[in-house]
Amino acid sequence: MWNKIKYFPISAFTVIMGLSGATLILSKFGSNGWLPSWCYSTALWTLSGLAIFIASLYLLKTMRFMDEVRREFLHPIKINFFPSISISLLLLSIAWEPVSSSVSQYLWWPGVVLHTLFMIKAIGYWITHSYEIKHFNPAWFIPAVGNVLVPISGVEHAPELLSYFYFSSGMFFWIILFGLFMNRVIFHGQLPEKFIPTFFIIIAPPAVGFLAYMRLFGSWDGGAMFLLMMALFFFVLLVSMYRSFTRLKFFMSWWAFTFPLTALTVATTLAFEVSGETAFKYMAWFFAGVSAVVIAVVAWHTLRHLFRGEICVMEE
């Protein structure tokens, strides 16, 4: 058992990210009367229990195998998954907000502090180490996505200026990292197979950015439309590349499929609420269906490989 805990992957927190997105869909659909409210309540408590379980396992790993955690933290790729811990807290904060503002706030503040530390460390690591372009992959977007999540609940829990700070820095790094992403995939060969699913992460910054923009500015304007349409464009682009995602060997990186799709679903639902355009309602239901299928498939493969003992193993 201890050997399994030793190699419990930091990428396991992406499971919480994906299921948090699904919970937010149920919250939005419930508030619009599209689904019964108990669907959201059930998902919220299930998500919270799973988050405690995963966090407990990684805490055990940290307490008993600190050298292994340090090895992950100093890894040029795995370091970018550590902000998924703080992002999970921020997403849980957003998920709890309709039920309890107090619980949401108790989750939000540790999430912001922890994410700030991870973000600064990750960016500092990029600057002070000599990287080759082959080291870049879409997981580098994770710290930027986390910044953009902060204002969604932050407008309720902290001075507005703090939300502007995280929104601005998150969107800035989205632009920078997207340029690096295009350079990497166009001019420097294909990503390793296990990172192909992380292509879907490029949907998340504009989708989450749209949600944050609406919380900060509350305006259905050109800026909001730009972010939403970019998220839709990236979805269409990735669908056109479906052959790249078929017959992939399973890795925990498959969970990278889930959160961006759920974020896009929540974004189109909010777009319907503020604009009244029926097309967005149909999009929201479509993306919700796609998200449900993808989460079910990825969860089934995760459980199958877990029972085979293929998840908590040493990786290069």
* Number of Cβ within a 10 Å radius of residue 158: 17
203 with 234: CB under 8 angstroms?
yes
Q: Helices 13-31 & 83-96, crossing angle to 10 degrees?
A: 20
**How confident is the model at residue 175, as a pLDDT?**
92
Q: What is the pLDDT of residues 13-36, one digit of tens each?
A: 999 999 999 999 999 999 999 999
pLDDT of residue 72: 86
Long-range pairs, 277-282, Cβ under 8 A, ≥24? none
How many of the other CB atoms lie within 10 Å of CB of 120?
A: 11
What is the C-alpha separation between 259 and 14, in angstroms, rounded?
A: 8
Cβ atoms of 146 and 86 closer than 8 Å: yes
CA 310 from centroid of its chain's CA atoms: 23
Taking the CA of residue 294 as centre, how many other CA atoms within 13 Å lie in the half-sphere pointing to its CB?
A: 25
- Select from 285, 234, 291 the least CA-distant residue to 262: 291
pTM: 0.93
pLDDT value for 36:
96
For the stretch 172-202, pLDDT in tens is 999 999 999 899 888 887 777 777 888 888 9
264 and 283 Cβ atoms separated by less than 8 Å: no
Q: Which residues of the chain have pLDDT under 50?
A: none
- Residue 165 burial class via C-beta count within 10 angstroms: exposed 0-12, middle 13-18, buried 19 and up: middle
The CA distances from residue 146 to 5, 210, 276, in Å, are: 26, 14, 29
First-residue to last-residue Cα distance in the chain: 21
